[in-house]
Amino acid sequence: MADEPSVSVLWFRRDLRLNDHPALLASVAAGTTVLPVFVIDPSLLHEGTPRADRLLASLASLSRDTRDNLVIRTGDPVEVVPELAAEVGASQVHVTRETTPYGRRRDEAVEAALQAAGRQLVATGTPYAVGPGIVVNQSGTPYKVFTPFSRAWREHGWPAPAERPTRIPWHHGVRSDDLPEPTSTERIEAGEQAALKRWEAFLTGDLDGYARDRDRPDHDTTSRLSAPLKYGEIHPRTILADIAAHSAGGSKATHTFTNELAWREFYADVLWQHPASAWHDLRPELERLEYDSGPETDARVEAWKQGRTGYPIVDAGMRQLLAEGFMHNRVRMITASFLTKDLHVWWPVGARHFLDHLIDGDIASNNHGWQWCAGTGTDASPYFRVFNPITQGTKFDPDGEYVRRWVPELRHLKGRTAHEPWARKDGYEHDYPQRIVDHDAERKKTLSRYEAARR
Please tell me whether residues 383 and 420 are part of one structural domain.
yes
In this structure, is the dihedral angle defined by the CA atoms of residues 179, 181, 182 and 183, taken in order, positive or negative?
negative
pLDDT of residue 305: 98
Please report whether residue 179 resides in a domain.
no
Please report whether residue 248 resides in a domain.
yes
CB 237 within 8 Å of CB 158: yes
pLDDT of residue 256: 94
Q: Domains in the chain: how many in total?
A: 3
Please report whether residue 321 resides in a domain.
yes
CB 303 within 8 Å of CB 343: no
pLDDT of residue 46: 74
CB 350 within 8 Å of CB 367: no
The CATH number covering residue 254 comes to: 1.25.40.80
Please tell me whether residues 298 and 446 are part of one structural domain.
yes
**What is d(CA 385, CA 434) in angstroms, rounded to the nearest whole number?**
25
pLDDT of residue 234: 98
Please report whether residue 94 resides in a domain.
yes
Domain residues for the domain of 288 are 284-454
**DSSP at 360:** T
pTM: 0.94
381 CB-near residues (< 8 Å, 6+ apart): none
Q: Which of 304, 380, 308 is nearest to 341 (CA)?
A: 304
Q: Block means of pLDDT (10 residues each) for the chain, length 455 residues? A: 75 98 97 96 78 93 97 97 97 97 97 98 98 95 94 96 95 94 84 97 92 92 95 98 81 92 98 96 87 97 98 98 95 98 97 95 96 87 83 97 98 97 96 98 95 84
For the chain, the C-alpha Rg in angstroms (whole number) is: 24
Please tell me whether residues 92 and 224 are part of one structural domain.
no
172 CB-near residues (< 8 Å, 6+ apart): 67, 69
Please tell me whether residues 107 and 247 are part of one structural domain.
no
Please tell me whether residues 150 and 257 are part of one structural domain.
yes
pLDDT of residue 382: 64
pLDDT of residue 2: 43
Please tell me whether residues 98 and 146 are part of one structural domain.
no
Please tell me whether residues 238 and 328 are part of one structural domain.
no
pLDDT of residue 385: 86
Kindly report the length of the chain. Answer: 455
Please tell me whether residues 264 and 317 are part of one structural domain.
no
Q: Which of 342, 317, 343 is nearest to 329 (CA)?
A: 317
Q: What one-character-per-residue DSSP string does 117-173 give?
A: TT-EEEE---SSSS-TT----TTSPPP-SHHHHHHHHHHH--PPPPPPPS---B---
Please report whether residue 199 resides in a domain.
yes
pLDDT of residue 383: 66
398-301-452 Cα angle (round to 5) = 90
**DSSP at 378:** S
Please tell me whether residues 198 and 289 are part of one structural domain.
no
**What is d(CA 32, CA 254) in angstroms, rounded to the nearest whole number?**
42
CB 34 within 8 Å of CB 92: no
